[in-house]
Amino acid sequence: MNEQPIVFCKGGGCTAKLGPGALAHVLDKLPPFTDPNLLVGFDHSDDAAVYKLTDDIAMVQTLDFFPPMVEDPYIFGQIAAANALSDIYAMGGTVKTALNIVCFPEKMDLNILGRILQGGAEKVREAGGVLAGGHSIADSDVKYGLSVTGIIHPDKVLENNACCPDDVLILTKPLGVGIVCTADRVGQASEEAMAAAIASMTTLNKYAAEALAPFAPHACTDVTGFGLLGHLNEMLAGRCGALVHWKALPRIPEALDYADEFLLTAAAQRNRNHLEGKVEFQNIPFAAEELLFDPQTSGGLLVSLPADRADEALAAVQALGLGCGIIGRVTREHPGIICVTE
């Protein structure tokens, strides 16, 4: 009997995450942990945990790993590492150490694993961190990521749910990588679209975070598996509403065409279902809706900051050559509702 070949890329990245509804159902059953030094825990739905060590130093901890969404092991390692490191930047922190998380089939060529780890290590180095170790297990499929530790001043933590009415929303990377990677798996993505997706996914959010820090952002998160609308919903926390202009969204141009051809992910449908009753679309094309629900892998930062600093802040990010834009604003009206218009 012939053994089935091991497939490296079956479709992964942040599309492999549990849906937000399923995750909330599980987390709600965990007992609460109380500690005066735990500044941000899992009850916050935030990007990372933050624990105060001294009056001047808090530790930021996160981990992230997933299956490959591209065929090149080295590029996969870069993407997975950039995605894991991003949570530190979303909290306003600085990366210090990282540990590899590896699941790998015993019968697969170990040179593939070597290339994955090389890609990840180079992104940790670029982040200014130290790769200090890791853990591996034999598995039927490839998975890779990092556990990352950073530091931040306890008074400068950027939580994801501290936006204020009249804040402007800036997104620092283009949307559409989930749709483009889906199209690529069935041979429908152009070389240009896939190159744009890879360039976005391998770019560290370090640079955008550093550019935006001087403009006093109120809240920040990175857009990953729950899609732009899912993460914006967490940012609003039922206290504020939001107005989003879909034509202002930075995006990979071909993503809308692929969405019109129904090259979509199951994760996007889970995201849509979870936000039922929380999003109002005003004459929005179907493809644009899908772009807003599309799970992003190593997506950009979604930042809420004062309106009088928005243009200057956007210019600072644009100067880095990143696909970014002002996509809307936070509103006082209709708390917990996201209105999407042209």
Active-site residues, by number, are 14
Specify the DSSP class assigned to residue 183: H
Residue 299: both structure tokens together: 């997506």
CA–CA gap between residue 153 and residue 80 (Å, rounded): 27
209: Cβ–Cβ under 8 A, 6 or more apart, which residues? Answer: 89, 90, 92, 220, 301
Which is nearest to 81 in space by CA: 49, 124, 47?
Answer: 124
Tell me which amino acid residue 80 is.
A
Q: By three-state DSSP, how is residue 32 classified?
A: coil
Element (H, E) at 90: helix 73-90
Residue 264: both structure tokens together: 């979509």
Residue 58: both structure tokens together: 């808090």
User: Where do runs of H (alpha helix) occur along 54-190?
Assistant: 73-90, 110-126, 177-185
Specify the DSSP class assigned to residue 39: E
